[in-house]
Structure 1
Amino acid sequence: MSSYADLLRTRGVARIIAAQLTARFPFGMLSLAFLLHIEHTWDSYGVAGLVLAALSIGQAIAGPLTSRLMGRLGIRPVIVVTMIVCALGIATIALVRLPVPAAMAVAFVAGLATPPVQPAVRTIYPKLVNSRQLTPLFSLDASAQEIIWVLGPVIATVAATQVSTVAGILLAVAFLVVGGTWFVASPEVGRVRIPRSRRKLGVVLKKPAVLLATIVGFLLIAACAAIEAGVVATFGEGGVEAGLVLAVFSIGSLVGGLSFGHRPIGPWALALRMGVVFVGTALAALWLNVWWIGALLFLAGVGIAPALAVMFAIVSSSVKFSDTAEAYGWVGTGQLIGAAVGSAVAGFLIDGVGPTGAFVAAAGIALIGFLVPALGRRWHPDLRGREAGPIPDTEPVTVTS
């Protein structure tokens, strides 16, 4: 733990972590807040699903595009403009009763304008700390983001049920604006300029480590989404057990990230962490008892934040600094698509065979998530004794004689 204490004492690290978590916090609230508001407004979960799908599609498309724009226009202008557009779109859905197609269009635009805070901050990290501290910093970041998924749904539910569904959404907008403003006002953001990439959009995916992180991130988040659907189907949407089990799942990830995230990253690192997720999920599927599921999902969660930290580190070490934001944008897009696919697969299986089907699906996806990095370990950078920072950009220098 001393390595994390040293990190937080490093100038700017605690501030930038807190600011980016606040800016990203609304996205732990919005799914549930939109679900409650739209179901209340239209009396239809189907309409809520369509609006949320439009939001997710917009976010998935935006990932690499807005991240790449930061190299052309700068971090602050891109985040400020996208923050304003996203906040207006979300507020419109809360305050104006629109026809369903119009609500979907507004949600799509809001998703497309999701501020690229996550790619930005992971591009900034190598400029804040030395190479020895970078892997623990990625782990601390992956662990800290569990706060979003533990507290976000709780705050959204309390605001929506105790005040109004409109209040729940507007509270998310407030977090977005305050957190985004805090982030762009941070001096660390102003000190970093992302060089303009000379490559075409998508070329960064030819880097084996980036493609590996994108695929495994897709599988990891798909498994997590299937687990969440299975837990809700097992204990009911309003059951306190579902909330407690999902909280334990996230706490397991937090514990795992803080306990193991600082370990050296070898070629088997990602496969081993995904193996922990698979074992916990597979065992949880054997008995749908709250104590059994809670204990085994805690075990599964122990592998999540360390796996994410490995993905961030191998991406950072494999691309030029000018390509890091776009690379993280692709990884984020893979995770968003994974969340949609995992939820959809689990939903069909829940309807067909019951909640057990969702856990079996999650275990199957996690198994593939273990096999992919195990079989592709030769494309996994060995960072033991190596720097995890990005490759410096170089360009011709004119010499006068």
Structure 2
Amino acid sequence: MAGYRELLRAPGVARIIAAQLTARFPNGMTSLALLLHVEQTTGSYGAAGVVLAATSIGQAIAGPVTSRWMGVWGIRRVLTVTTAVCASAILVMALVPMALVGYMALGFIAGMSTPPVQSAVRTIYPKLVNSRQLTPLFSLDASLQEIIWILAPVVITIVATQAGTVAGLLLIVAILVGGGAWFILSPEVGRVRIPRSRRALGRVLAKPPVLLATVIGFLLIGACSAVEAAVVATFGHGGLEAGLVLAIFSVGSLAGGLTFGHIPMGPWAMARRFAVVAVGLSLTVVSLNFWWLGGSLLVAGIGIAPALAVMFAMTSASVKFSETAEAYGWIGTGQLIGAAAGSAVAGFLIDGIGPVGAFYAGAGFAIVGTLVAAVFVRGFPDLRHRDPSPLPDTEPVPVIT
């Protein structure tokens, strides 16, 4: 913890972490709020699911594109425009009753305009600290983002059930605008200029570490989504046990990231950390008892934030600075698709064989992820004695002969 205290004392680090967590806080609220609002308005969970699917598709498409735009028009300009459009779309959905197709269209627009704060901040991090502090900073970031997934669903559920779904969506708009403004106006954001990438969109995926991080992110978040569905199916939507078990899952991730974030990352780091997740999730199929699931998911959670930290660090160390934002955008898209795939597979298995089927799905995703990390270990950079900062962008220099 002394190392983290030193890290947070670095100029601007604590401020930018707090600002980006606030700006991203709506990410943990929007899906649930839209689900509750559209279901209440239309009387159909199926309709709400279609709206969420449209929103997720918009986010998946936009991730690499809006992240790349930051190198063309600047971080502040892109974040300002996307924040304004996203907030406006959610505001209209909250205040204007409409048909299902209207909710779908606005959900898609809100997804497409989701501010690329995550790509921006992870591009900025290497400019804030020295190379020795960058790996712990990625670990701290991966750990603290669990606060979003612990608190945000609780906050939006309380507001939506006590004050109404319209109030819940208005709260999201307020945090989106306020947190976005705090992050956009942070001095660190203004000081960083991402060079324009000279490669075609998607070419960054030709780099093995970026492709591996995208695939691994798909499998990791797929496992987590399957487990979330399994827990809800086991204890019910209104059960206090479901919320407590998922909170334990997130607390395990937070603890794992803070505890192991300082460990140097060799080529086998991802396989070892993913193996912890696989072991924990495999144990969940033994029993659906509250205490057993809590203990199993605590073990599984310990590997999640450390695995995410490896993803962020290996990506940063493998691409040019002009390509980092787009690379993180692709990783985010992989995670979104993984979330959808994990939820879908879990849903079919819950209908077929019950909640234990979804736990099998989560364990399956994790085992495959561990195998991918082990089989393709040569594609992971060795960061134990290497600066994980992005590669410098270089241009030909004219020479007079």
TM-score category of the 2 structures, normalised to the smaller one: over 0.9
- Within 5 Å, give how 1:218-257 maps onto structure 2: 218-257=218-257
Structure-1 residue corresponding to 2:27: 27
SS of aligned partner of 1:129: coil
Deviation at 1:366, TM superposition (A): 0.4
Structure-1 residue corresponding to 2:82: 82
Structure-2 residue corresponding to 1:397: 397
Give the distance between the partners of 2:99 and 2:42, measured in 1 at CA.
10
Structure-2 residue corresponding to 1:14: 14
**What code does the residue aligned with 2:177 have?**
V
Give the distance between the partners of 2:60 and 2:258, measured in 1 at CA.
29
Deviation at 1:98, TM superposition (A): 1.2
Deviation at 1:92, TM superposition (A): 1.1
Give the distance between the partners of 1:386 and 1:118, measured in 2 at CA.
24
Q: Does 1:126 align with 2:132?
A: no
Q: Does 1:265 align with 2:261?
A: no
Give the distance between the partners of 2:95 and 2:298, measured in 1 at CA.
39
Give the distance between the partners of 1:351 and 1:262, measured in 2 at CA.
42
Output one character per residue of 1:125-169: Cα deviation in whole Å (capped at 9) or x when no partner. Answer: 000000000000000000010010000000001101111111111
Give the distance between the partners of 1:279 and 1:96, measured in 2 at CA.
47
Output one character per residue of 1:85-118: Cα deviation in whole Å (capped at 9) or x when no partner. Answer: 0001111111111110111011001100010100
Give the distance between the partners of 1:167 and 1:210, measured in 2 at CA.
40
Give the distance between the partners of 2:38 and 2:179, measured in 1 at CA.
25
SS of aligned partner of 2:225: helix
Structure-2 residue corresponding to 1:318: 318
**What code does the residue aligned with 1:195 have?**
P
**What code does the residue aligned with 1:172 have?**
I
Structure-2 residue corresponding to 1:175: 175
Q: Does 1:199 align with 2:185?
A: no
Give the distance between the partners of 2:170 and 2:262, measured in 1 at CA.
37
SS of aligned partner of 1:179: helix
Give the distance between the partners of 2:56 and 2:91, measured in 1 at CA.
17
Deviation at 1:31, TM superposition (A): 1.4
**What code does the residue aligned with 1:361 have?**
A
Structure-1 residue corresponding to 2:49: 49
Give the distance between the partners of 1:91 and 1:304, measured in 2 at CA.
34
Deviation at 1:252, TM superposition (A): 0.3
Output one character per residue of 1:297-351: Cα deviation in whole Å (capped at 9) or x when no partner. Answer: 0100000000000000000000000000000000000000000000000000000
SS of aligned partner of 2:286: coil
**What code does the residue aligned with 1:309 have?**
A
- Within 5 Å, give how 1:240-389 maps onto structure 2: 240-389=240-389
Output one character per residue of 1:273-299: Cα deviation in whole Å (capped at 9) or x when no partner. Answer: 110000000001110000000011010
Deviation at 1:82, TM superposition (A): 0.3
Q: Does 1:102 align with 2:125?
A: no
**What code does the residue aligned with 2:233 have?**
A
Structure 1 gap segments, 5+ residues each: none
**What code does the residue aligned with 1:4 have?**
Y
Structure-1 residue corresponding to 2:68: 68
Runs of 4+ in 1 over 6 A off after TM superposition: none
Give the distance between the partners of 1:35 and 1:246, measured in 2 at CA.
19
Deviation at 1:379, TM superposition (A): 0.6
**What code does the residue aligned with 1:101 have?**
V
Deviation at 1:35, TM superposition (A): 1.3
Give the distance between the partners of 1:87 and 1:30, measured in 2 at CA.
11
Give the distance between the partners of 1:220 and 1:174, measured in 2 at CA.
31
**What code does the residue aligned with 2:29 have?**
M
Deviation at 1:177, TM superposition (A): 0.5
SS of aligned partner of 1:390: coil
Deviation at 1:174, TM superposition (A): 0.9
- Name the count of aligned residue pairs: 401
Worse overlay, 35-44 or 127-136: 35-44
Structure-1 residue corresponding to 2:145: 145
RMSD over aligned Cα, in angstroms? 0.7
Worse overlay, 93-102 or 4-13: 93-102
**What code does the residue aligned with 1:354 have?**
G
Give the distance between the partners of 2:329 and 2:296, measured in 1 at CA.
31
SS of aligned partner of 1:76: helix
Give the distance between the partners of 1:16 and 1:71, measured in 2 at CA.
20
Give the distance between the partners of 1:29 and 1:65, measured in 2 at CA.
23
Deviation at 1:400, TM superposition (A): 4.3
**What code does the residue aligned with 1:328 have?**
Y
